[in-house]
Chains A and B, each alone.
Chain A
């Protein structure tokens, strides 16, 4: 490496590397400002478009109900709001919602925890897993709500039968997702940490759990509406309280607005539960590569 300095005739250009000039720094600042402004603009636009969409949809419903569609069957947003506020003020809505919420949340926690724990437990008992695997697949194929009527017989018409239905629905999704996530773990990663001295528990905690987490969180996400289905179906079949009961009750009285008001309450609950899952996802999956924003200097 002693050629530098010798005037190579092949060299066309040779330049010194200098630090960025003031103008170039100013250019960087300008890019930062523009990007921040563009991001803010985009956020504003997105929120605005959502508001417009919401009011357009609700407004259309309000306008069409009456002149075009028979409001007897589809009601009207304005009536639904009146009905919902009336039910909330009278205490009826809160009373019924608490049962549905307790059923759904209990089913959610028991089902997801059970599914995830069982999924991991089977790691330690591979022979048991091999034994029951086809049966799980078969059972997974049964629509779980087919068992709901039996659950009413077994657990009574109180909240425990609804919790049982919700639990059953949620359990399998999480169990199957967890085992799928564990099976997707990279062999190489496990080998590397094993040679580093990791035991079975450490492998589970440090490699298999984080690696399966995207699957597990996907399971947690689809479980939100699932547990609500369990609770509502249970209530439809037999109950004297809960949002499901309210809907059946409204239906028998041809009170469409009241039925929609009850459904609106479910919507609120599900949106809140989804918010919690989204928070978990942000918190635990932030290591995952994001979309194409941000800088990716390569090459």
Chain B
């Protein structure tokens, strides 16, 4: 990537008036679709920023653009001060699916990213073991993904992401498919791991509590075409207690404010589709 200037206050991700417009399927309608509209957002080094918004508002699109997996249509999207050309291998990327390789055991899966990045065998083995221990999966190194529970698989995914100690982590609803209890546990683990290194993190969730528990800053996007409707600083000091976050001063106000903004977007969507249906 770009060996950008040394100034430490330079944002890691800087988005200025970014648009993403998908051309639509040529053979169907050929109608373009604005997924993201004029996104202005800059993320400081070590900051944990969460995007929330209704389904289809372009959250994942934004993440994919930072990862360099899709092009931006208009505007400037900078990573560490430089434009993003091609896949951004400087970031770690976690999706809702585990994306574990079923033919590799736990250790092999955690070592994957380090293998691809050219870490020495001994170093990747050492780090993999350390991170496996940190997510509490010691003794399961030889297990294959299918032999692990959903929560354990998720932990493997997180260990794999953090083990090569990337500067920046992109997470797209990583805990989406988990049950509510496992989810809370995972949030706790992620938080502990994160607080010990404070990597710049861009996180996507539909779960407002999750967004408050984890983030420094929360960005609310509107329904499609997605634009930023509001942004909140989370006033809760760290380290945070995932299990008692509800009782913390300021939580309820923030939750209500977020939900208010979001509700407006979700119900507006519903009203619109009602209008469309009745006019047909």
- Report which A residues bind B (CB closer than 8 A): 1-4, 8-15, 17, 20, 24, 27-29, 31-32, 34-36, 39, 293-295, 297-299
Contacts and interface: CB of A to CB of B under 8 A. Distances in A.
Nearest to B222: A17
Interface string B220-248: 00111101111111110000000000000
A1 B59 contact: no
B271 to A, nearest CB: 13
Interface stretch (B4-12, B26-34, B118-126, B144-152): B26-34
Contacts of A20: 34, 37, 225
A52 B35 CA distance: 40
Given A1-B259, A11-B230, A15-B229, A297 B22 contact: yes
A31 B36 CA distance: 14
Contacts of A29: 32
A116 to B, nearest CB: 30
Contacts of B34: 20, 24, 27-28
A32 B260 contact: no
B58 A297 contact: yes
Given A3-B253, A11-B230, A15-B230, A31 B21 contact: yes
B204 A299 contact: yes
A17 B57 CA distance: 13
B23 interface: yes
B86 interface: no
A256 B196 CA distance: 77
A297 B224 CA distance: 9
B260 to A, nearest CB: 4
Given A2-B256, A27-B34, 10 more contacts: A10-B234, A10-B235, A12-B230, A15-B227, A17-B222, A28-B33, A32-B31, A295-B22, A295-B25, A297-B33
A295 B268 CA distance: 22
B73 interface: yes
Nearest to B234: A10
A14 B22 CA distance: 26
B253 A297 contact: no
A299 B60 contact: yes
A27 B73 contact: yes
Contacts of A13: 228, 230-231
Contacts of A36: 23, 26, 30
Contact of B19 (A1, A10, A27, A295): A27
A126 to B, nearest CB: 29
Given A10-B250, A24-B34, A297-B33, A32 B58 contact: no
Nearest to A39: B26
A193 to B, nearest CB: 25
A39 B30 CA distance: 11
A10 B216 CA distance: 11
For A3, A11, A32, A297, the residue with the greatest tally of chain B CB atoms inside 10 Å of its CB is: A297
A1 B60 contact: no
B37 A4 contact: no
A14 B229 contact: yes
A10 B225 contact: no
A9 B254 CA distance: 10
B61 interface: yes
A15 B228 contact: yes
Contacts of A2: 256
Interface in B26-70: 26, 28, 30-35, 37, 55-61, 63
A294 B30 CA distance: 9
24 contacts: A1-B256, A1-B263, A4-B261, A8-B232, A12-B217, A13-B231, A14-B261, A15-B229, A15-B230, A20-B225, A27-B21, A28-B34, A31-B23, A31-B32, A39-B26, A295-B23, A295-B24, A295-B33, A297-B35, A298-B55, A298-B60, A299-B56, A299-B57, A299-B173
Nearest to A299: B60
B21 A14 contact: no
A1 B228 contact: no
B257 interface: yes
Contacts of A17: 222-223, 227, 229, 265, 268
A9 B250 CA distance: 11
A293 B73 CA distance: 16
Contact of A32 (B24, B204, B225): B24
B74 interface: yes
A12 B232 contact: yes
B14 interface: no
A115 B228 CA distance: 58
Nearest to A32: B32
A14 B250 CA distance: 19
A110 to B, nearest CB: 36
A222 B232 CA distance: 59
